[in-house]
């Protein structure tokens, strides 16, 4: 076999570093096969579609969801050894069948979503707090090596920024992965061919403050409050859903909490 020699020129100054590594048409950074990063509402954002294309392109082994036939004895949770065998994962698989009409050239993936904020070690708290969202894609069961390769950052921004636009874009991209009909096939290096991909959220992981913020439910002392069990501003709707005479008199006029027997009379309140 004839070896073709290639001349490699090491950068010797800042201009050559920019040329070979960062900015030019043939620079390393511009030619690495990495997911596209965009600026979205003061956040860095990577589409989960591009993330899945990247992980499939590397040909990593995946805990893909397949039909899991169980007899009655095996349906016990003790016999479920991986996420892809769970009842929720099987529901995801059924959705893929309806979408691609049982096309054999399809792989089905589960996604775990995580988001939280944190403080950098060298920052003053509340001034430079960072918010991050990540996803973990179909990591194989009991993997002991390179498990970090299955988790990707989706978005990074300041905690003080509004994350709504990021969440909306993330939801739209997930909808394309679960229901979209116009996505081009993905190249899967492990099989050496192009495949259709169906992917859905398996679980969303958030701590209590993050979960309340994502659902606009604060600590119980604001307009959007868990006290009433509704994620709406009830004050703006109060004139449109007025209380009946009994409710208003006993609760507001007398500032009295109605007894259970009185509450039973208020089933038709507002009618």
Strand 43-46, strand 186-188: pairing:
unpaired
227 is a domain residue: yes
Strand 130-137, strand 151-158: pairing:
antiparallel
In terms of domains, do 49 and 98 share one?
A: yes
8 is a domain residue: no
27 is a domain residue: no
In terms of domains, do 85 and 153 share one?
A: yes
Range of the domain at 77: 33-205
pLDDT tens, residue order, the chain (271 aa)? 566 665 667 888 888 888 888 888 777 777 777 888 899 999 999 999 999 999 999 999 999 998 875 444 445 555 778 898 888 999 999 999 999 887 778 999 999 999 999 887 766 655 678 999 999 999 998 887 888 999 999 999 998 899 999 999 999 999 999 998 888 899 999 999 999 999 999 999 998 888 877 776 666 555 555 455 556 666 676 666 666 777 766 666 656 555 555 555 555 554 4
Strand 43-46, strand 37-40: pairing:
antiparallel
Q: What is the DSSP letter of 267?
A: G
Number of domains in the chain: 3
In terms of domains, do 156 and 214 share one?
A: no
């Amino acid at each position: 076999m004839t070896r073709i020699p290639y001349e490699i020129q090491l950068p010797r100054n800042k201009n050559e570093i920019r040329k070979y590594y960062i900015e030019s048409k043939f620079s390393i950074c511009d030619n690495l096969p990495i997911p596209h990063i965009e600026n979205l509402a003061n956040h860095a954002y990577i589409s989960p579609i591009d993330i899945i294309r990247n992980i499939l392109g590397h040909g990593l082994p995946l805990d893909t969801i397949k039909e899991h036939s169980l007899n009655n004895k095996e349906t016990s949770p003790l016999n479920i050894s991986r996420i892809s065998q769970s009842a929720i994962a099987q529901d995801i698989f059924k959705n893929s069948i309806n979408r691609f009409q049982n096309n054999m050239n399809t792989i089905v993936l589960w996604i775990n979503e995580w988001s939280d904020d944190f403080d950098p070690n060298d920052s003053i708290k509340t001034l430079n707090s960072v918010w991050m969202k990540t996803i973990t894609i179909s990591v194989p069961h009991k993997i002991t090596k390179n498990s970090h390769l299955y988790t990707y950052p989706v978005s990074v921004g300041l905690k003080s920024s509004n994350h709504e636009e990021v969440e909306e874009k993330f939801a739209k991209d997930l909808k394309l992965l679960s229901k979209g009909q116009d996505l081009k096939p993905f190249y899967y290096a492990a099989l050496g061919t192009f495949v259709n991909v169906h992917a859905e959220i398996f679980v969303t992981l958030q701590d209590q403050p993050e979960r309340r913020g994502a659902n606009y439910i604060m600590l119980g002392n604001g307009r959007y409050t868990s006290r009433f069990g509704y994620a709406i501003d009830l004050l703006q709707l109060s004139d449109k859903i007025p209380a009946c005479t009994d409710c208003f008199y006993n609760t507001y006029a007398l500032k009295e909490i109605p007894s259970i027997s009185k509450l039973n009379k208020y089933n038709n309140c507002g009618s």
